[in-house]
Amino acid sequence: MDSTGVTTEAVDVRAIRATVDRALRPLARPARPDMVELEQQLREHVELLLPAAEAAAEELWHGSVQWYECRAQLDRIRLDVARDLGDSPLSAHVQVRHLARDCAALLTYAEGER
């Protein structure tokens, strides 16, 4: 267990990166049904990674520029997770890409890069 209270064994960085890479792969015509499984995996990854990012934000000096930027990023990620896929293939594709980028950003906290 690290200083954030998150066990590093619980975070399979390789699996998360593989999901992110799959989600960011360019698609000629994304099919919405194909996005449902990918979106669910990304949501689970975000939920797994958020506690470490939240803990890292709490360690920053509250009121600093870095703290505000971190809080803004985490708040935006929480908004992204709250959105659904929408009705069209394009909205599903955009939502999955947002979640993939969110996972990639959160991995930096899990890996201690921040």
Q: What is the pLDDT of residues 7-50, one digit of tens each?
A: 445 789 999 999 999 999 876 566 666 788 899 999 999 999 99
Residue 88 vs residue 7, higher pLDDT: 88
- Please give the pLDDT value at position 47: 95
Find the mean pLDDT for residues 83-87: 87
Q: pLDDT category, 54, cuts 50, 70, 90?
A: very high
Give the chain as a DSSP string: --TTS--GGG--HHHHHHHHHHHHS--SS--HHHHHHHHHHHHHHHHHHHHHHHHHHHHSPTTSHHHHHHHHHHHHHHHHHHS---SSHHHHHHHHHHHHHHHHHHHHHHTT--
